[in-house]
């Protein structure tokens, strides 16, 4: 009824997640509180796995982009569901290691990895390091040489597709901090450098065309551009690269109007384009990698806040203030991200007012939504924000020295805290006297 399968309205009229009453959860764990549905996360992982099996003969791997939400518990779930894992920092890599994630299924990204991070990746035996620039390729070659090993590399290529324009277009798009440009010859130069480096093993190419994308066509175009480039590489160097990584970016439902593409349809179409292109190019179909982040965890999570003041400025607007804000969810302050808000105690009732939801941080821009519709709420009641599972906790800060909220996972075996609430003591842990 709400469009999110793991969210329901129970017999008391309360919002429930994974069958658990959100008012009871707020009572038990306090607010602000992140709650995630284990079933939703696992089901999303399975959808990716199944669609690769069904439409591409299992000749691929979906790797969860952990920057969307990273902790040991999610690494374990992702592993149990048979996915790989994307990391972009020593911290994410360390978390994966702490969760005993199989390192051969880890992909290490980043536009400016440090020598320490690259060393760590080599020592851990990370399966794929996605190089972003020539400096990094040279550093990696030298580090691998010093260790007497060979680094498995992929190259991040800018295919020049802007999926965010209304009519997505093939643009120059050289102006991005990520990756090697195709049209300048930079990407081909990087391929040649990698192929000629004794301690680098070039296994394929990577591209990532954006995030929160609702169409399939930009991905199909990316496939064509990348495979044509792989064909060119073959003609120029004789090397047949075996892997193509198409990145992430699949959109999710934040508001009712959002209409996400079913992964099955995505995979069906993309796999057909891959096969078709490879046939034309006389090229073996590559092992395909996908890197969903948002679409694995985003809709699976919600945030529960307690309403503090409700301030109506006559003729202007009503501010509903909550006990969190930009510290646990900076996405509205950063880029006016859309969200759906519900009074948790009256989740099934019509929304009768238009309000601005404000946080408790000392910034005028600390808002979670403006002119959003909501049921009546009074101070002390619980406000739910939907689809906060991705890029919320992972972007959270301690601004104003507010402790970060806990994350509770609800599942068939009951609920459990997967990240505990920070204490005031935690906040001064690294302070010197
Ligand atoms: C951010 C990112 C992803 C995940 O993107 P989503 O939009 O969360 O699916 C995947 N791959 C790379 C390289 C990224 O930078």
pLDDT in tens, 40-64: 999 999 999 999 999 999 999 999 9
Nearest CA to ligand 1 atom 12: 247
pLDDT digits 0-9 by tens, 385-394 = 999 999 999 9
Ligand 1 centroid to 63 CA: how many Å? Answer: 10
* Secondary structure class of 14 (helix, strand, coil): coil
Range of lowest pLDDT (78-82, 111-115, 168-172, 362-366) = 168-172
Is residue 291 within 8 Å of residue 86, measured between CB atoms? yes
Assessment of whether the complete model's pTM goes beyond 0.85: yes
Residues in the ligand 1 pocket, defined by CB under 6 Å: 65, 67-68, 86, 109, 208, 211, 247-250, 291-295
Q: Which two tokens stand for residue 21?
A: 């009453």
What number does the ligand 1 atom closest to the CA of 292 have?
Answer: 9
With a cut of 80, say whether residue 117 has pLDDT above it: yes
Count of all residues that appear for the chain in the document: 433
Instruction: Give the model's pLDDT for residue 161.
Output: 82
Is residue 368 within 8 Å of residue 355, measured between CB atoms? no
* Mutation probe of ligand 1 site: the residue of 44, 66, 70, 86 with most atoms within 8 A of C-beta: 86
Q: Which two tokens stand for residue 7?
A: 């969210």
Q: What does R_g of the chain's alpha carbons equal in angstroms?
A: 23
Residue reference for tokens 């890029």: 391
Angle between helices 134-146 and 186-196 (to 10 degrees): 10
- Grade residue 34 by pLDDT with cuts at 50, 70 and 90: very high
Instruction: Give the model's pLDDT for residue 1.
Output: 33
Ligand 1 centroid to 412 CA: how many Å? Answer: 29
Nearest CA to ligand 1 atom 15: 208
Kind and range of the H or E run holding 54: helix 38-56
Instruction: Give the model's pLDDT for residue 139.
Output: 98
With a cut of 70, say whether residue 357 has pLDDT above it: yes
Q: Averaged over 78-98, what is the pLDDT?
A: 98
Nearest CA to ligand 1 atom 7: 249
What number does the ligand 1 atom closest to the CA of 156 have?
Answer: 13
Ligand 1 centroid to 182 CA: how many Å? Answer: 20
* Mutation probe of ligand 1 site: the residue of 74, 248, 301 with most atoms within 8 A of C-beta: 248
Catalytic residue among 70, 71, 220, 362: 362
Instruction: Give the model's pLDDT for residue 3.
Output: 53
Q: Averaged over 333-357, what is the pLDDT?
A: 96
Instruction: Give the model's pLDDT for residue 263.
Output: 87
Instruction: Give the model's pLDDT for residue 262.
Output: 87
How far apart CA 411 and CA 407 sit, in angstroms, is 13
Decide if 362 is catalytic.
yes
What is the 3-class SS of 143-180, one letter each residue? HHHHCCCCEEEEEEEECCEECCCCCCEECCCCCCCCCE
Ligand 1 centroid to 24 CA: how many Å? Answer: 34
With a cut of 60, say whether residue 170 has pLDDT above it: no
């Amino acid at each position: 009824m709400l469009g999110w399968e793991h969210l329901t309205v129970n017999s008391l009229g309360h919002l429930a997640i994974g069958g658990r009453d959100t008012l009871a959860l707020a009572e038990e764990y306090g607010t602000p509180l992140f709650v995630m549905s284990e079933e939703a996360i696992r089901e999303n992982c399975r959808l990716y796995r199944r669609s690769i099996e069904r439409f591409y003969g299992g000749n691929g791997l979906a790797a969860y982009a952990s920057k969307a939400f990273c902790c040991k518990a999610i690494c374990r779930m992702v592993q149990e569901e048979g996915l790989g894992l994307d990391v972009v920092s020593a911290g994410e890599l360390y978390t994966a290691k702490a969760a005993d994630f199989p390192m051969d299924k880890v992909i290490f990204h980043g536009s400016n990895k440090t020598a320490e991070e690259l060393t760590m990746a080599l020592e851990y035996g990370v399966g794929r390091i996605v190089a972003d620039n020539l400096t990094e390729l040279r550093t990696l070659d030298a580090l691998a040489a010093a260790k007497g090993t060979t680094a498995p590399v992929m190259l991040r290529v800018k295919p020049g597709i802007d999926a965010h324009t209304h009519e997505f277009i093939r643009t120059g798009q050289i102006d991005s901090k990520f990756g090697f440009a195709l049209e300048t010859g930079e990407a081909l130069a990087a391929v040649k450098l990698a192929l000629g480096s004794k301690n680098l093993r070039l296994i394929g190419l990577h591209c990532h065309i954006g995030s929160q994308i609702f169409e399939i066509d930009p991905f199909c175009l990316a496939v064509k551009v990348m495979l044509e480039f792989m064909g060119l590489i073959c003609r120029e160097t004789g090397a047949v690269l075996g892997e193509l990584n198409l990145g992430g970016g699949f959109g999710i439902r934040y508001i009712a109007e959002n209409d996400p593409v079913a992964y099955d349809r995505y995979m069906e179409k993309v796999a057909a384009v891959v096969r078709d292109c490879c046939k034309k190019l006389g090229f073996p179909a590559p092992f395909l990698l996908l890197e969903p982040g948002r679409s694995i965890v985003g809709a699976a999570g919600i945030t529960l806040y307690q309403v503090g003041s409700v301030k109506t400025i006559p003729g202007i607007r009503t501010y509903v203030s909550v006990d969190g804000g930009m510290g646990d969810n900076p996405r509205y302050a950063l880029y006016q991200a859309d969200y759906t808000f519900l009074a948790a105690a009256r989740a099934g009732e019509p929304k009768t007012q238009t309000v601005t939801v404000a946080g408790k941080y000392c910034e005028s821009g600390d808002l979670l939504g403006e002119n959003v519709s909501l049921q009546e709420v009074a101070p002390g009641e619980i406000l739910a924000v939907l689809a906060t599972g991705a890029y919320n906790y992972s972007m959270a800060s301690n601004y104003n020295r507010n402790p970060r909220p806990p994350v509770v996972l609800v599942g068939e075996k009951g609920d459990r805290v997967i990240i505990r609430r920070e204490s005031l003591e935690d906040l001064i842990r690294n302070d010197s006297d």
